[in-house]
Amino acid sequence: MIHQFINNGYYIVLDVNSGAVHSVDEEMYDVIGELAKRVPDMARPEKLPEGARRETVEALSGKYPAGEIAECLDEAQELVDLGELFAADVYQRFVTDFKKRKTVVKSLCLHIAHDCNLACRYCFADEGEYHGRRSLMSYEVGCQALDFLIANSGHRTNLEVDFFGGEPTLNWKVVEDLVAYGRKREKETGKHFRFTVTTNGVLLDDEKIDFCNREMSNVVLSLDGRREVNDRMRPFPGGGGSYDVIVPKFQHFVERRGKKDYFVRGTFTRYNKDFAADVIHYADLGFDKLSMEPVVAPPEAPYAIREEDLPEILEQYDLLAREYIKRAKEGRPFKFFHFMMDLSQGPCVAKRLAGCGSGTEYLAVTPWGDLYPCHQFVGNEKFLLGNVRDGIKNTEIQDEFKLCNVYAKEKCRDCYARFYCSGGCAANSWNFHGTITDAYDIGCEMQRKRIECAIMIRAALGDLGQDDGYRPKDPSEE
Ligand code: SF4
Ligand code: SF4
Ligand code: SF4
């Protein structure tokens, strides 16, 4: 199976099953396109069928000289011999009984505060109140959560804990104490905690910044971009925008952060379909590690992204990709999370098996210790999995989450992105289809476009190397 696309003047051929990416000229692009109509996936080494070669020459003879087409066909044969074109489909081999798959917990999202000092209009947390249960996590519950993670992590050494909310800085003393507890448990167990925090920035001060820079492997700073965009969706509870309070704090934070990881992360909605301008705005503010995600929202929400918004949104990714290349060439690069695709490592089979990991490897913990598949499901009792004291009780729901991956989903079977995608967002699938094991089609369109952009960027920056192309492995080897 191949996927071909032209983006920003680059003619790209992705050989889906081998993962090989070829940036070619128009003629070779056309030749491969014609061959693809006639050649099945091949076990190598195998010769291109004579009939397919002849018919390709005939189909393109009005456009190119026959001798040139023959040269392209020979080149195509070389790629087949290398296993980089029309490679055999190994996908089906990986389809197993996913419910039987044993999983370990690798990361927790600790809802350290179900409370917030902002009132974002798209807030999954009901503006931090989580549908009436405003609450802070106690130190004791936090310790039980870390112990639960250690006990359920199997042989895995590196464990991730994200301090999340609401707004974690509203319960900062507990955050500090839990990091200390985690460091103590590391010594006792040989595990290693990688702590991260997601904050809206309102209460950031030097003390918290220094603590984060010492202890947090990554910090996610929430901001939606341009002032008018941010302030429309991220106001204070009494009204009034948050941009002017937050931006200087984030700039100060990033200055002190040095080379350590951080992301400025935003959410875009149908109110700012021109979100590329918001990402570029981040870069203009001096931030260089950026992320912008489509809103997760019920379809009836006025700000939810609709199918008719897609053409404009996809165009924005193209626009952003061109700016990404331009700035990289000018020596003022920025990173955009979705364009940072490592083609040489290829897709991570383990990650694809887990999907985003929600419900299996990644769990959300409420302030009182209940476990949910991820923050988007908190408060929906159907998805209550158990709690940090007694462990997971609702294994039926957990089994369903094991099916949230590209190998188990029908829609992913014929999708070219299946080796790069983690299987989409279960929460969005639930919102749009009433089941977590479908694929959220709007998200899929965006995902496929982002992958195309990421590949094109690599071609444009002269970064498609010999090593590009993965060999999918049997997941049981992971
Ligand atoms: S900062 Fe986060 S928790 Fe607070 S209202 Fe906004 S989205 Fe909700
Ligand atoms: S983009 Fe959608 S259909 Fe394609 S692999 Fe990802 S979840 Fe599946
Ligand atoms: S289900 Fe969606 S919102 Fe939840 S962790 Fe996965 S990608 Fe994120």
Consecutive 10-residue averages of pLDDT for the chain (478 residues): 95 90 96 93 81 95 96 95 87 65 90 93 69 85 98 96 94 98 98 97 97 97 97 94 97 95 95 97 96 89 94 98 96 92 56 74 95 91 96 91 80 84 83 86 93 93 58 38
Q: Within 172-286, where are the H helices?
A: 172-189, 206-215, 227-233, 243-257, 276-284
What is the DSSP annotation of 394-422?
A: -HHHHHHHHT-STTT-GGGTT-GGGGT--
- Atom of ligand 2 at shortest range from CA of 445: 1
- Give the separation between CA 59 and CA 51, rounded to whole angstroms: 12
Using a 6 Å cutoff on CB, does residue 374 contact ligand 3?
yes
The dihedral region occupied by 8, where left means phi > 0, alpha psi between -120 and 50, and beta the remainder, is left
- Give the separation between CA 250 and CA 200, rounded to whole angstroms: 9
Q: What is the pLDDT of residue 470?
A: 42
What is the Å distance from ligand 2's center to 422 Cα?
A: 8
In degrees and rounded to multiples of 5, residue 74 shows phi and psi of -65, -40
Strand order across the 158-164 sheet? 335-336, 289-294, 263-268, 216-222, 192-199, 158-164, 107-111, 362-365, 370-372, 386-387, 391-392
Structure tokens at 324: 């990404």
Contacts of 150 (CB under 8 A, 6+ apart): 159, 185, 189, 191
Using a 6 Å cutoff on CB, does residue 354 contact ligand 3?
no
What is the Å distance from ligand 2's center to 247 Cα?
A: 35
| Alpha-carbon distances, residue 433 vs 224, 409, 418, 442 (angstroms) | 27, 14, 20, 12
With the most atoms of ligand 3 within 8 angstroms of its CB, the residue from 338, 358, 371, 438 to mutate is: 358
With the most atoms of ligand 2 within 8 angstroms of its CB, the residue from 338, 412, 437, 445 to mutate is: 412
| Alpha-carbon distances, residue 18 vs 76, 405, 470 (angstroms) | 14, 19, 6
Closest residue (by CA) to atom 3 of ligand 2? 412
Closest CA to 427 of 387, 377, 370, 357: 377
Q: What is the pLDDT of residue 131?
A: 61
In degrees and rounded to multiples of 5, residue 177 shows phi and psi of -65, -35
Q: What is the pLDDT of residue 345?
A: 47
- Give the separation between CA 56 and CA 84, rounded to whole angstroms: 19
Taking a C-beta distance cutoff of 8 angstroms, is the pair 138, 131 a contact?
A: no
Q: What is the pLDDT of residue 478?
A: 33
What is the Å distance from ligand 2's center to 343 Cα?
A: 18
Structure tokens at 118: 């902002």
What is the Å distance from ligand 2's center to 448 Cα?
A: 8
Ligand nearest to the CA of 432: 3
Alpha-carbon torsion 106, 338, 373, 444, what sign? negative
Q: What is the pLDDT of residue 476?
A: 36
In this structure, how many other beta carbons lie within 10 angstroms of the beta carbon of residue 297?
21
Instruction: Kindly give the pairing relationship between strand 10-15 and strand 2-7.
Output: antiparallel
Structure tokens at 21: 């990416």
